[in-house]
Structure 1
Amino acid sequence: MKTLELKFLNQDNKTVTISLDSPVEPADPVAVNQAMDAIITQNAFFSAGGDLVSKKQARIVERNVFDIQL
């Protein structure tokens, strides 16, 4: 399972992560940048540490889960 993680800094300088399942690949850096800018500009999300104020990082994370037979 892959997720797109958008990481921002809030007013308390703490990292806030927004995760989106099943991202389109390959990721378009321009589109990701524009989406993150829009999230900040429109004040679309609020965190316990205040508004999101800057972009920190964007990444695609892949997680593999394997069940163990008990």
Structure 2
Amino acid sequence: MAKTLEMLFTNEDGKSATISIESPIEPVDPVAVSAAMDTILTANVFSTTGGDLVGKRSARIVERNVEELTVN
């Protein structure tokens, strides 16, 4: 199963913007994720069509299970 860490931010337009990291180190430390999100906001290196990132919205781990099918 593939896992992805999704960090959701609010941009200047008040819309959601997501930064995803595949295969995060586990177990994921919520304190470290929050600190990383603060660093991203402080560094102001990401911009979206709705403007710069201005706040933290949430963070989550998304698990995806892919099963290949044989088709003829």
Q: Normalised by the size of structure 2, how large is the TM-score?
A: 0.93
CA distance in 1, matches of 2:25, 2:61: 10
Deviations 1:1-52 (A, max 9, x none): 1000000000001100000011011111111111000100110211000000
CA distance in 2, matches of 1:30, 1:19: 17
Equivalent position amino acid for 1:55 in 2: K
Deviation at 1:68, TM superposition (A): 1.3
Percent of aligned positions that are identical: 59
Equivalent position amino acid for 1:68 in 2: L
Pair member with larger Rg: 2
Q: 3-state SS of the aligned residue for 1:34?
A: helix
CA distance in 2, matches of 1:58, 1:24: 15
Gaps (5+ residues) in structure 2?
none
Q: After TM superposition, list the pairs within 5 Å mapping 1:28-43 onto structure 2.
A: 28-43=29-44
Partner of 2:70: 69
Partner of 2:56: 55
Runs of 4 or more consecutive aligned structure 1 residues displaced over 3 Å after TM superposition? none
CA distance in 2, matches of 1:44, 1:25: 26
Q: Normalised by the size of structure 1, how large is the TM-score?
A: 0.96
Partner of 1:10: 11
